[in-house]
A and B are shown apart, each in its own frame.
Chain A
Amino acid sequence: MFNKLRIGKKGENIIFGTFVLLYIGWCVNSPDMNIESLKSVLTIGLSVGIIYGLVALGISLIYTGLDVVNFSHGEFFMIGAFAGLTMFNLLGNQDWIFNIFPDAYGWIIYVVCLFTAFVSMGLFGVFIERVFLRPLTKKGGGYTVAGMGIIICGFGLSVVLINVAYLIWNPVAKPFPAELGLPMEIGGLFLPITYIWMIVVGLSVAAGLWFFLNKTKMGLGIRAVAYSKDVSNLVGINVPLYISIIFGIACAIAGIGGTLVGPTYQVVVFMGYIILMKAFAAAVVGGFGNLPGAIVGGFTVGIFETASSFYISGSHKDLYAFLLMIVVLMIKPTGFFGVQVKMKA
């Protein structure tokens, strides 16, 4: 999961660098280009990017741990947002919290919401893995994957989860009016505080995951399971349990992502699909299966998308992520941090 940056072939890097320079040239030539717009492009790009990164992190984690590409991951993001929103609505009209913390009222509630999304999505992910995905892997000995079926099932699960969410929360877009305070001024630019929250919380979650995987015993076990299920079994790791844990962590991170997006945009039943696709692009750009690569890929996709819609054309916003993915796949098929298959632990 954590190998060093692979220095690609020289040719790859030169062609890729040329593309980057051409793109920057194009943006600089745009009439909207000035330092103000650049600042907002960077902040919006980073804050959107960290969300893509968080979802991509989950996709990569599941891919390394379970050898499955989880196509229902966007739905965990969406349900996470709803879990956060539900908690917010529960706490929103409780006067006693306001009486105890009159100043910090808004963000304490928001932190509780984030925590709720994290825990509930973690448990929900474990539940889904145990009840729906585990039976599919029976043929492969209880933890390996029995072919293409499980990928198609990911799509099915996605449809089912969307419809369940539709029944519970109906398709109307819901606001998430977290009271986090006034916009903050950074370098002459007024930023909605939710952007800061996204970047700070997103980066802390990513750093926390890094710490968890590299410094704790359970993390060591997870990395072992990701590399080889048989050898992990032979050193005494309870592999089926660890696979559930991996799935749960990935879903919990997606849930946090959903709650982070909520206050800036809105919470809708259909928000998972497009996020999944963008996160997919982010994972591919960063190098599929590589965790730091997922975050870097997320930032790259986020900034590229925002910059393009600012400076090139705003009417095709959703196109750019995939354009970037195609270019990266053409020139550097392994992404920025390509994973050599043998080294993926």
Chain B
Amino acid sequence: MADEKRKIRIATCSLAGCFGCHTSMLDIDERLFDLLEMVEFDRTPFTDIKHCGPCDIGIVEGGVSNAENAHVLKEFRENCKVLVAIGSCAITGNVPALRNNIDLWDCFQEVYLYDPGTEGKQIPNDPELPLPFDKVYPIYEVVKVDYFLHGCPPPANAIWKFLTDLIQGRQPETGHELLRYD
């Protein structure tokens, strides 16, 4: 076992996203076994590890919507040699960023103070809750990102091709056939 090659270590997380990209990752189905031959997982929603340690590859789904997202993202950047933005939310902000046109103040008032369904009429202020940013940001505005894998979500085959290229030390090439939506 001693001379067996060290496995590539991968961490993943979902920030302001819907876990759709993670679901698409699982859609590689039986190839998951092949993947586990080559890699081991650090922090991911699959392992339930809470903090990311030193890794080779970090995969981030979702944009940056609140302070906690920023902490997690920075932790990933500090620990991962290669950081990948996966899916439209991480790359552009996408659906969560639709709130960017609404003033945060108006939004909170509407939801917690004016909406007839709310009780107590108080804006939550527990320090346990992460504070939201004024806007949702794509992750490249907060940290340096090495690769972008497009799609909402990117199809499983594209994720598989991307990961195997990266793991085997090739420049990832997904190409038109794997990433077309027309």
A binds B: no
Please list the residues of chain A having a beta carbon within 8 angstroms of any beta carbon in chain B: none
B residues with CB within 8 A of A: none
